Homo-oligomer: A and B are copies of this chain.
Amino acid sequence: MRIAILGGTGDIGEGLTVRFASETSHTILVGSRDASKAADRAGTYESRLANHGIERTIEHADNTAATSNADIVVLAVPPHHVGDTIEALVDQEVLTDQLLITPAVGMRGDESGLHFNPPSTGSLAELVARCAPASTAIAGAFHNLAADRLADLNADLDVDTLVVANDEKVRQRVIDLVNELAGIRALSAGPLANAAEVESVTPLVINIARYNDDMHDVGVRFT
């Protein structure tokens, strides 16, 4: 499979790129609005992987070209760019029959901590589903992974991620994909209507890291 990580220059994009590159044989494309930035970061990721004894080529392109050349597209852009990014991909007619996975979470902060701040659709996953063509398979996953821990190839993860999609076969396809990564267990959380409760875990784990001295880069396990 060819997996495009849009926003692959950001922190969660870095983690997903190096984990998929080091632990699977899928071709990974780093996407960015700026093709030269994608090229630069792909080189950085190749160097990081080489330092771990892993010789892999990381492909790179702007988000549009990355999407048109991928079987699976991970929308790892900042949450406030999710709507714009999807609209641009739709306008350019590059979203067809890919599997599109969104890890994004809308959050706002105040003095107490971070809070779930969804769009009017209820969740970013449902916003993506509303904007994308009907032919594109939509799923949410990878929301509540601590970026630094994901990107650190020496770190044991031992965490869960929750998968939402309306089609049970799409959910299973994403679960199987995630389970290729050591240390991340995928669980189904059901249809996209259940995405809000999944996305809401991300501000929670950040608040837990803030309020418990001995916890950082907090992940979650369901037992």
Interface of A with B (CB < 8 Å)?
110, 112-113, 115-116, 158-159, 162, 171, 187-191, 193-194, 196-198, 200-201, 203-205, 207-208, 210-212, 215, 218-223
Q: By the criterion CB–CB under 8 Å, are B212 and A187 in contact?
A: yes
Residues of B within 8 A of A159 (CB): 223
Taken together, the copies of this chain in the complex come to: 2
Q: Given the known A-B contacts A188-B211, A201-B204, A212-B187, are A115 and B220 also in contact in the complex, defined by CB atoms under 8 Å?
A: no
Q: Provide the bound-state CA to CA distance between A222 and B204, in Å.
A: 10
Given contacts A115-B193, A191-B112, contact A158 B223 (CB under 8 A): yes
A71 and B169 alpha carbons, distance in the complex (Å): 52
Q: Are A110 and B219 in contact (CB under 8 A)?
A: no
Known A-B contacts A188-B211, A190-B211; the reply to A205 vs B222 at CB < 8 A is: yes
The distance in angstroms between the C-alpha atoms of A207 and B199, with both chains bound, is: 14
Contact at B115–A194, with CB atoms within 8 Å?
yes
> Shortest CB–CB separation between residue A223 and chain B, in angstroms?
5
CB distance from A200 to the nearest CB of B (A): 5
Q: Chain B nearest CB: distance from A27 CB in Å? A: 30
Which residues of B lie under 8 Å from residue A223 when comparing CB positions? 158-159, 218-221
